[in-house]
Every structure is written in C-alpha cells, then in structure tokens.
C-alpha cells in the first residue's frame, strides 16, 4: 500500500466557524506531518512526533515554510467557457448570446471538448482546486470528455450535461426526451465511478420548457444520491424574463421548487435577487447557494449578501463561475468575496473565508464526509501555499507569524503563483517548481 508523508504548516477548519470566525473551529499545526495511505489521510501530527516512527521507505514531501490547506472546492464553474473568460461589455443575457453560446456550440466536436477539459483541469490544479461542481454543454460527449480526464487524475468531480430545450441557438438545444435519455445514460456510465458524481443540470429556468423541468425533477426523485445544479436570480433582466415565462409561479426560485429541484445535493449559482421566502425554501430543502463574486462583479449582476443568507440558515459555497467569472483561483475569488461583503457592511472573517473555500464548499456539495479538512479517513486532497511566492507577499506575510493572517494575506494578494503544489488523493498532480521532496 502506498504511503507518503507531507511536511509543512497545516491549517484547516474542523467545522463551520461562522461569520464571526470562532477560533476553536480552526486548527493550525506548525511543522506537521500528514501521513497518507492509499490516497487517504491516516494521521496529522507534529513532525517531531511522527518522523521517528516512519519506515525508511516512506517518501517525505518536505514543504517546510509552506502553508498547507485542504484542496479548494469550486462550487460553480463551466469547463466549456475557458475561451469565454474576459469577454467585454455585456450583462448576462447579452453575454450568453454574444459570447457563451457560440463557444459552447463548438463542443459538438469531442476533440474540442477533450482539449478544453484537459486545459481546464490543469488550471484548477495550478490554482489548488481539487473538487468542482461543473457545467458541461448540452452535448453528452462533453460530459464523457470531462469525466474521462477527471478520472485519469483521480479527482472528486461533480458534473453534468446542460438540459436546455428552448431559448438557445441551433446546435445547443436538446428535447425533453433526448435530455432525459442522455442524462440517464450519463448517470449509469459515470455516477459513482471512483470519485466521479453526476449532477442533473437544467441550465436555468429560461432555457428549459416546463416539460423538461418536470422530467428533471422526476429524474432527481429517482436518483436521490445524484446532484442537481442550476442558476437562479443572477441578473435583474433575467429575473423579469423568468417571471414572464412562468407567470403562475411566486418567484424564480419557486419555479425550481415547483418541479422538485430544490433538495440536498442541489446547488444554485448566484441567488442574488431572492426574498425571505426564497431563502426559507433554500434552508428548509437543504439546497445550497453558490456565491460567485468575480462573476457577479464582472457581468454586473449584483452583490450577494452573505450575512443575510447565513442568518436565514442557507448553506453557502464559493464559486468561480468562469467564464462569467474572471479567475480559476479560489484565492482571487476569496479576495473579491471579501470586497463584496465589505460593500454590504460585513468584514468576511479569514476563518470563514477558509471555510467557504474548503469545508464549507464540501458541505454545500454534501461531500464533507470525504473532503474539506484533514480529518483522518478523508481523501488526501490538499493545496500547498507559498507565503513568500512574490516579494509583496513575502513582505506582508513576514509582518505577523499567524497562520490565519497568512492565509488572509495569501487570499488578498495571491493567485496561482502562490500555489506551490496540489495533491489529489495523496499524489502531487501539480508542482509549480521542481520537486522539493526526497526519500529519507
Ligand atoms: N445563466 C444561464 N447560463 C449561464 C452561464 O453560462 N453563466 C452564468 N453566469 N449564468 C448563466
Ligand atoms: Fe454559471
């Protein structure tokens, strides 16, 4: 059985620290050693205690001076939108028509999908992200391409084929029948294969007929263990359009509720323009909201009020939403999350920021039994952060010798340059520089 040990300063959340940042919810271990056996965490303990007990055959990956956190969890992102990033001058509906749909049409070609999937996963790993909830395109082969690459890398990934049978251009529409049949076949083929998980993925209410949404809800009922993902209440024009399309429903969120698409393992991106009743429904159904700050700022959608959502008891994760979002980095995403909350009068505590990017995201996806912290038995997914990756980071992190303050500085100033390595199930899948590991 493969055994490895990873050495450095460790920081992780044991549970939800709340917006106030309850200190006992966060654990820091200076010069720790994480023992990994067959991809799982066996033990995290001080290096001085554990090193003498290790057999000579155990490879020690020496990351002393680095801050090691659980692999980041991106709760909302579109892999086919790698070439949509940084598209100028549009808000949501216009942005979809002008930039996004034309790119997604290209994914009818499996070679385009395979190339994008490979590049996308490399980007995630370069940014310390080990799990994501991912939209593919309407084409089932886009899901095959994505899962095949994720499987090769051993990553815990949630993904699904977009259901979209109206208000989309030629080549990007399915039908209630084909969408349902394709989703069923993909669940059969991929859900539960290793660490892969399927998500029933109605793109958003405006691009699915009532018949399609009804059948998506039925499919979800038949597969309680499968995920659900969509968008809701992102942009004011979108909200007004959905109100016209579904005049009989109380609200945009109520459309999904009506069709049985709110539940545990369901994640809805944005959730900006909701009311109190909507938030109660999210809470009561166990549905999670994905907060996507770089997207919300870049396409001018609005400000997600984290305090309001948490006060209502809603589960929240953090998402990059690339191509609406502007970075694959969860550090960059945390920096923007902090600024959005500042505008709303809340200073997002570093402990809660860490939670959102790791254990909280895992909980939003109901995968916190497997990932999100360094608890023994969990999968050994982790990001090795370099507090001195740039001269400015070195200067700032040198000011205070406190792991949480270091993490806050890394989130505020860092990006992929600050990710020295990323491990998936105990295997280094990304290294920024030549290996610093060795055999003792
Ligand atoms: N709403 C429907 N489709 C999309 C998408 O691709 N990105 C974003 N941000 N919102 C959407
Ligand atoms: Fe999105």
What's the pLDDT tens digit per position in 7-31? Answer: 999 999 999 999 999 999 999 999 9
Average of per-residue pLDDT across 383-405: 97
pLDDT value, residue 435 = 55
What average pLDDT does this structure show over 237-252?
98
Distance CA 292, CA 361 (A): 12
Query: Cα(189)–Cα(57) distance, rounded to whole angstroms?
Result: 38
- Per mean pLDDT, which range of 2-11, 110-119, 179-188, 264-273 is the poorest? 2-11
The answer to whether residue 415 scores a pLDDT higher than 80 is: yes
Spell out where 243-359 has E strands: 266-270, 288-291, 315-318
To test ligand 1's pocket by mutation, which of 96, 232, 291 has the most ligand atoms within 8 angstroms of CB? 96
State residue 308 phi and psi, 5-degree precision.
Answer: -60, -45
Record the tokens describing residue 435, joined without a space.
């290996």
For residue 234, which atom of ligand 1 is closest to its CA? 10
3-class state of residue 12 by DSSP: strand
What is the pLDDT, as a whole number, of residue 3?
87
Ligand 1 atom, smallest distance to 321 CA: 9
Q: What is the arithmetic mean of pLDDT over 110-131? A: 98
* % of the chain at pLDDT higher than 90: 97
Q: What's the rounded Cα separation, in Å, for the pair 25 and 352? A: 10
State both tokens at 100: 């996004």
Q: Is the pLDDT of residue 325 over 80?
A: yes
pLDDT for the residue numbered 439: 44
- Mean pLDDT for the stretch of residues 308-337: 98
Task: Give the pLDDT band (50/70/90) at residue 434.
Answer: low
- Does the pLDDT at position 376 exceed 50? yes
Global model pTM greater than 0.95: yes
Copy the structure tokens of residue 349: 């505590």
pLDDT band at 440 (very low <50, low <70, confident <90, very high): very low
Ligand 1 centroid to residue 162 C-alpha, Å: 11
* Residue 303 φ/ψ, nearest 5 degrees: -110, 120
CB atoms within 10 A of CB 250: 15
CA dihedral 221, 233, 163, 128 (to 10 degrees): -90
In degrees rounded to 5, what are phi and psi of residue 66?
-105, 155
Q: How far apart are CA 52 and CA 26, in angstroms?
A: 27
96 CA from centroid of ligand 1 (Å):
7
How many Cβ atoms are within 10 Å of 342's Cβ, its own excluded?
11
Q: Angle 210-222/176-190 helices, nearest 10 degrees?
A: 20
Q: What is the pLDDT of residue 1?
A: 62
Of residues 220, 160, 228, 212, the one with CA closest to residue 190:
160
Q: What is the C-alpha to C-alpha distance for residues 104 and 106, in angstroms, rounded to an integer?
A: 5
CA of 231 to the centre of ligand 1 (A): 7
Query: Does residue 78 have a pLDDT over 70?
Result: yes
| pLDDT tens digits, one per residue of 275-320 | 999 999 999 999 999 999 999 999 999 999 999 999 999 999 999 9
Average pLDDT of 55-62?
93
Give ion ligand 2 contacts, CB < 5 A.
269, 321
**Which of 74, 75, 91, 92 for mutating ligand 1's site (highest number of atoms within 8 Å of CB)?**
92
Residue 256: per-residue pLDDT: 99
Compute and round to an integer the Cα radius of gyration of the chain.
21
Which is more confident, 102 or 437? 102
User: Which residues 6+ apart lie within 8 Å of 352 measured at CB?
Assistant: 17, 18, 19, 20, 21, 360
Euclidean distance between CA atoms 329 and 234, whole angstroms: 21
* DSSP SS3 for 221: helix
Instruction: Give the pLDDT mean for 342-358.
Output: 98
Which tokens sit at 165? Answer: 């049978």
* Substitution site in 97, 165, 202, 204 for ligand 1 pocket (most atoms within 8 Å of beta carbon): 204
The average confidence (pLDDT) of the chain is 97
| Residue pLDDT, tens place only, 130-154 | 999 999 999 999 999 999 999 999 9
Read off the pLDDT of residues 169-191 as tens digits, 9 standing for 90 and up. 999 999 999 999 999 999 999 99
DSSP H or E run through 86: none
Give buried/exposed letters for 148-185 (b at 16+ CB in 10 A, else e).
ebbeebbbbbbbbbbbbbebbeeebbbebeebbebbee
Tokens 């990006």 sit on residue? 415
Decide: 288 and 264 in contact? Cβ < 8 Å. Answer: no
Angle at 205 between CA 309 and CA 113, to 5 degrees: 100
Residue 216 has pLDDT above 70, yes or no: yes
- The rounded distance, in Å, linking the Cα atoms of 119 and 289 is 27
C-alpha–C-alpha distance, residues 129 and 121, integer Å: 9
Span 335-345, mean pLDDT? 98
Q: List, chain by chain if needed, residues with CB within 6 Å of any ligand 1 atom.
A: 78, 92, 96, 100, 203-204, 231, 234, 295, 321, 324
Q: For residue 287, what are its two tokens? A: 């549905």
Locate the ligand 1 atom nearest the alpha carbon of residue 135 and give its number. Answer: 6
Q: Which atom of ligand 1 is nearest to the CA of 301?
A: 9
90, two tokens: 């549009």
The proportion of the chain whose per-residue pLDDT surpasses 70, expressed as a percent, equals 98
Question: DSSP character for 315?
Answer: E
Name the burial class of residue 102, with classes exposed (0-12), middle (13-18) and buried (19+) by CB atoms within 10 angstroms of its CB.
middle
Cα separation of 388 and 255, whole Å? 48
Give me 197's structure tokens.
């998980």
- Tokens 């020496």 correspond to 62
């Amino acid at each position: 059985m493969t055994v490895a040990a990873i050495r450095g300063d460790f920081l992780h959340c044991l549970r939800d620290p709340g917006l106030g940042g309850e200190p006992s919810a966060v654990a820091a271990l200076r010069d720790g050693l994480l023992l990994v056996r067959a991809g799982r965490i066996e033990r995290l303990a001080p290096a001085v205690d554990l090193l003498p007990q290790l057999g000579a055959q155990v490879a020690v990956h020496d990351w002393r001076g680095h801050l090691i956190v659980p692999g980041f969890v991106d709760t909302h992102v579109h892999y086919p939108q790698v070439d949509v990033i940084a598209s100028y001058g549009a808000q949501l509906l216009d942005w979809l028509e002008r930039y996004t749909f034309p790119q997604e049409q290209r994914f009818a070609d499996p070679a385009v999908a395979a190339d994008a999937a490979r590049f996308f996963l490399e980007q995630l790993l370069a940014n310390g992200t080990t799990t994501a909830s991912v939209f593919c395109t309407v084409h089932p082969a886009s899901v095959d391409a994505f899962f095949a690459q994720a499987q090769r890398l051993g990553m815990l990934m949630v993904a699904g084929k977009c259901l979209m049978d109206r208000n989309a251009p030629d080549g990007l529409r399915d039908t209630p029948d084909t969408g349902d049949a394709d989703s069923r076949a993909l669940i059969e083929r991929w859900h539960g294969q290793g660490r892969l998980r399927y998500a029933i993925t109605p793109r958003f209410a405006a691009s699915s007929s009532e018949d399609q949404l009804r059948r998506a809800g039925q499919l979800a009922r038949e597969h309680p263990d499968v995920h659900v993902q969509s968008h809701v209440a992102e942009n004011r024009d979108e909200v007004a359009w959905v109100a016209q399309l579904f005049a009989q429903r109380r609200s945009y969120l109520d459309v999904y509720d009506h069709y049985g698409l709110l539940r545990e393992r369901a994640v809805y991106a944005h959730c900006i323009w909701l009311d109190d009743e909507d938030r109660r429904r999210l809470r009561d159904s166990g549905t999670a909201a994905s907060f996507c700050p770089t997207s919300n700022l870049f396409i001018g959608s609005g400000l997600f009020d984290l305090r309001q959502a948490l006060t209502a008891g809603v589960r929240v994760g953090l998402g990059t939403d690339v191509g609406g979002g502007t970075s694959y980095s969860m550090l960059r995403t945390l920096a923007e999350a902090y600024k959005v909350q500042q505008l709303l009068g809340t200073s997002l505590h570093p402990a809660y920021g860490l939670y959102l990017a790791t254990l909280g995201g895992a909980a939003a996806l109901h995968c916190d039994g497997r990932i999100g912290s360094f608890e023994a038995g969990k999968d050994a997914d982790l990001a090795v952060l370099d507090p001195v990756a740039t001269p400015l980071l070195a200067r700032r992190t040198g000011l205070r010798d406190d792991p949480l303050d270091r993490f806050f500085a890394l989130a505020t100033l860092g990006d992929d340059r600050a990710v020295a390595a990323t491990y998936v199930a105990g295997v280094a899948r990304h290294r920024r520089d030549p290996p610093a590991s060795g055999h003792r």
